Amino acid sequence: MVPVRTERFRLLAPDSPLGNVSLVLASESPRRRALLQSLGLQFTVQPAEVDERKDLPEDPEGRARTLAIRKARVIAERLRECIVLAADTIVVRSGRIYGKPGDREEAIVMLSDLTGGEHQVITAVCAAHGARERYETRIVSTAVRMNEVGAEEIRRYVDTGEPFGKAGAYAIQGLGGLLVTRIEGDYSNVVGLPLSATLDLLEEMIPREASAGGESRPAATSAATEGETKP
């Protein structure tokens, strides 16, 4: 079992004003969708299409924050009365940034670099409201240590298909968890959405009148009824 230290335990209060707002997840990731559902929130899914390679800061946190804001803005400018939630996750080791592998060979190279040492998983979360022109972000970082793994084992793992669509080419909640010996920080962050930070951020976005019960949530389809595609 991987030793885990979560940053802080949070649950959605039964009378939370988040139940009275229209929330949109700007991501097609099934992992982020499942994590957000675990908080008991109702939301719709509107994937954001953005350029993830153009005009990005060099520093890892700045890059993740820029991408999260870009994703949120695309949807917030269209659904201006909703709270839009977006996130971007990257993996960093020794200053090198690892995103999602483009093909089998890139996945093998990534895992060869990451195994046998420690890396950081950094997620930027952005909550946005288009009508109020408000964009708030949080950055969460988790340290992950991996086993030494041989080249053949890496190839076999890549051939399962699990590494694709994941930053750093592994899924800690799946077979990739067998690569990990220890994490320090928020486990949900490594999966793709730091729940405590996300809940804090969403609650900060609620207008004071909504917190007092003065704003009702427009009818929205539960995320459970939306179509899902693998990122």
Q: Which residues are annotated as catalytic?
A: 88
Backbone angles phi, psi at 9, to 5 degrees: -85, 130
Enclosing H/E stretch for 153: helix 151-158
CA distance 186 to 194: 7
Query: Which of helix, strand or coil describes residue 170?
Result: coil
96-98 and 118-129 beta bridge pairing: unpaired
Measured between alpha carbons, how far is 163 from 169 in angstroms, rounded to an integer? 4
Q: Round to whole Å and give the CA distance between 182 and 48.
A: 33
Rounded alpha-carbon distances, angstroms, from residue 173 to 30, 176, 179, 206, 209: 12, 7, 11, 31, 39
Closest CA to 190 of 209, 177, 205, 207: 177
User: Are 64 and 123 a contacting pair, CB within 8 Å?
Assistant: yes
d(CA 98, CA 161): 18
